[in-house]
Structure formats: structure tokens, C-alpha cells
Amino acid sequence: MSLDPEMPKLIPYRRLDPSTQPACLYEPYRSTIRRAPAKPLILLPHTLSELTGPLYGHNAIGETDHDLTRQHPGQPLGERIIVAGRVVDDTGRPAPHTLLEIWQTNAAGRYFHVKDNHPAPLDPNFTGAGRTLTDASGFYRFVTIKPGAYPWRNHSNAWRPAHIHFSLFGPAFVTRLITQMYFPADPLLALDPVLQSIPDEKARRRLIARFDLETTEPEWALGYRFDIVLRGRQATPFEK
């Protein structure tokens, strides 16, 4: 393909600092043994198709998409919470108009998903999926229900700590990032191989939201602050 000489030069994205990121292979997290690449990774150059891509307009976001407690006729069961924060790059500059999507269990620790057969009740008023765009200062806010812990078959008596899955989508395909947010003071955090697969303790802590009185709304919901840093040594750990 010949590129138009008038076209602005394509600037590749800075790659993630490996010290902030989980290893592809972490044996206590058993499914990484089968899925981790056996050979060294090959870095693909960033070309036009990686550096451009789908752009999401405001129209696609519905009025209740960011509020998972208002997507059905009744109120979901459980503890209502607010999760809010900023998405910034390694220099602290906001990432505006970034699509954030979340998915999570209900308060009983069950996903609204055909493959989840954990014997915990579904909630007819909670699907557990939401999305929003960051504003001009990179700020986002969700209203939801605190998710429950759930068992998984990684090892004997294995339980995932309560968490919310996050996907971030910038302006191009290579800007999609996926991570998980955890809650402070959860005794399961120290036992969770997914979280513990991140080698740097400070990087692990960046996945734990902090209780925030500023985000908390009186008589209504506790607030948690979860800021996301896209690049650099302070980068939020992301899943491969």
C-alpha cells in the first residue's frame, strides 16, 4: 500500500513496561500453563491498521448504561456502590472519550452467563454489564452493586476475590486494554493467583480500588476510586 505523502506521520504507541504487567506464565494460575506462548514473543510493528480504527460516538451509549442498578424494572439486591476515577497516560494527561466497559457478578457471586453454574442465585434485576465514556478530563463513573466472591477450579477450595472486569477502548485496535479492579481489605487478595501473577507488589496495589468519601454519596452509596494509568512505570497492570 502506498501512503498519501500528505498524511500526517503515524506515531506508534509506547509499549507497556513489562515490570508492571503480569507474566504470561504464572504456574499457580493454572490456565496460564496451557495458554502462555512457548516461544519468545515477536513484536509486530504498529502500522496504519493498528494506529487507526473504530471510533465510538456518544450516541451508542444509553442513558442507563453506566448505572447497572437501573437497567431493569426493579432494584438489584446487594450493596449499591459507586466506582469512579480517571484514565490518564504516563504524564498524567487525561484520556478523554475512552470507552470503558465493565462486567461483574451479582451480589451473590454469580455471573449472568450460560457457562456460570455456581449454585448461587441469579438476580432478575441485575445483568452485571455496563459502559460509559470518559469525559474531557478523563473522568468516568459507574453505579453498580458490590460483586460477590465466587469459586473457580484453579486449585482446591479456590475462590476469586470480589472484582469488576474493565475493558478500555481508545481510538484504535491496539488501544484496547483489559484489567480487573479489586476491593480493599479483602482476605482473598493474598490467595488469588490472578492478582499474584503480577510480580511487583506496588503494581498489584494499583488494581485495588480505595474507599473514597468524596465519591461516596450520603444516605445512598459507598464510593470507590479506581484510577487507570495507561503507560509507563506507574501503569495499571493489564491482562495479556
Catalytic residue among 86, 110, 165, 204: 165
User: Which residues, other chains included, contact 16 with Cβ-Cβ below 8 Å and sequence gap of 6+?
Assistant: 231, 235, 238
The C-alpha cell at 232 is 509507563
Catalytic residue among 29, 66, 110, 111: 111
In angstroms, rounded to a whole number, what is the distance separating the alpha carbons of residues 87 and 77? 29
**Residue appearing with cell numbers 487507570:** 228
Smallest CA-to-CA distance from 87 within 74, 96, 75, 78 is with 96
Clarify whether 72 is annotated catalytic. no
Q: How far apart are the first and last CA of the chain?
A: 30
Catalytic residue among 150, 182, 204, 206: 150
In angstroms, rounded to a whole number, what is the distance separating the alpha carbons of residues 74 and 112? 16
**Residue appearing with cell numbers 476491593:** 183
Torsion sign (Cα): 19, 228, 42, 197: positive
Clarify whether 163 is annotated catalytic. yes
Clarify whether 165 is annotated catalytic. yes
CA distances from 61 to 57, 127, 166 (A): 8, 16, 16
In angstroms, rounded to a whole number, what is the distance separating the alpha carbons of residues 95 and 135? 8
Catalytic residue among 66, 86, 160, 206: 160
The C-alpha cell at 65 is 448504561
Catalytic residue among 66, 86, 163, 204: 163
Catalytic residues: 111, 150, 160, 163, 165
